[in-house]
Every structure is written in structure tokens, then in C-alpha cells.
Amino acid sequence: MPEAPLDPTERRGTDGHGHDIVDPLYVAIVTVSSSRDPDNDPGGDTAAKLVEEFDGRVTARELVRDNFAAIRATVDDLSRRDDVDCIVTTGGTGMTMDDVTPTACEGLFERDIPGFGELFRSISYDEIGHRAMASRAIAGVVSGTPVFCLPGSRAAVQTGMIELILPEAPHLAGLATRHRFD
């Protein structure tokens, strides 16, 4: 049986540098794919495993087809939940016509986090070369919740989660919601 969510005020604090953080981090994972199912979701499974290894909690897992309205509604709904500090989407960030995750999410962003996409592509370039330029990985804040849109491959999810999201999301979630607690 999953643990009951802690009150948000109980999870707020500061790190060793005095930066706002949320700990443990509650993460919702959204797999965007028309070909995956709950039993075949390597990107989502990788994200969930890494959240737990970083002492966070996966509080929601959703599987959404490559559909603009469905992606947008799912991210919008999750961003308003008290048990979600951060949303990670996997899939739908490539160059095919049905890769609409970035377009669906960026319309919800109150603020962009442009450095995420830039850093993700830079790290990916070091790993896979020039093909990294085709990634449309992006991030922003929706209803005070950081949202990160990653490609769906296991390797891309691992790179994004380990190198960027998990080290920084507790701080970004703390900053994005500070106004609620000041």
C-alpha cells in the first residue's frame, strides 16, 4: 500500500546553500505513445525507477496517446494536484507529425525553462552526436509545477532524469511554489 502523501508544508525546506527545496519530491510520469501500453513502457519504467532511487515518490503514472488535447488535459490536470510537485513526460518530442508533446505542453507554460532543452541537447550530442538536434525536449512551469518533456527512449530518459531533472527539480518545485507559502 502506498504511503499517504505528506502535507506540502512538511516537505518544504532548504538545502545546504539555503535554496528552497521540496523533499521528498512527488513526481507524475506521463508516457505519450500510440504504441506503448502499461506492460511495455521502457521510458516510463526507467523514469519511475530513477525517481525512487533518488528517494522521490511516483504519485501518478499515465499513458496518453499521441493526441494534442489528451496530452494537454492530462498535464493540466496533474499540475493542479497536491501530490504532484513535478511532471515528466516521455515520448512525442521527435519530428514526426504525431510528435505533439512539446506543442501541447508549451501552450500551458506560465514560464519556460529554456536551459533544460539546451542542456539536454548538449548532453545528448556528447552521447549520440548530431541526431540530438532533432530532439524537441522542453520544460516549463504549469500551475506552479515544473514540467519536463523528454524523448521516450530509455537512454534519453536516463540522461534527462539523472543529469538534469532529479538534481534540480526539488529546487525548481520549491521556487515555483514559494509564493504559496511565504
**Residue of 82, 111, 86 lying closest to 180 (CA atoms):** 82
Domain holding 122, by residue range, is 21-181
9 inside domain? no
Alpha carbons 162 and 59: distance in angstroms, whole number: 19
SS3 174: helix
pLDDT in tens, 2-48: 567 777 678 888 888 888 899 999 999 999 998 888 888 999 999 99
2 inside domain? no
| CATH code for position 140 | 3.40.980.10
80 inside domain? yes
Report the DSSP beta bridge partners of residue 150: 90
What are the start-end ranges of the E strands in 76-167?
86-90, 111-112, 138-142, 145-150
In contact, 148 and 160? CB cutoff 8 Å: yes
In contact, 76 and 108? CB cutoff 8 Å: yes
Alpha carbons 70 and 124: distance in angstroms, whole number: 28
Q: With 90 as the cut, is the pLDDT of residue 76 above it?
A: yes
Q: With 60 as the cut, is the pLDDT of residue 1 above it?
A: no
Q: What is the pLDDT of residue 28?
A: 98
Between strands 20-22 and 12-14, the pairing is antiparallel
Q: With 70 as the cut, is the pLDDT of residue 92 above it?
A: yes
Q: pTM higher than 0.85 for the full model?
A: yes
Q: Is 28 left (phi over 0), alpha (psi -120 to 50) or beta?
A: beta
6 inside domain? no
For residue 102, what pLDDT band results from cuts at 50, 70 and 90?
Answer: very high
**Residue of 122, 119, 106, 102 lying closest to 165 (CA atoms):** 119
pLDDT in tens, 161-179: 999 999 999 999 999 876 5
13 inside domain? no
Alpha carbons 65 and 43: distance in angstroms, whole number: 15
102 inside domain? yes
In contact, 22 and 177? CB cutoff 8 Å: yes
5 inside domain? no
Q: What is the pLDDT of residue 131?
A: 93
In the chain, how many domains are there? 1
**Residue of 77, 47, 56 lying closest to 5 (CA atoms):** 56
7 inside domain? no
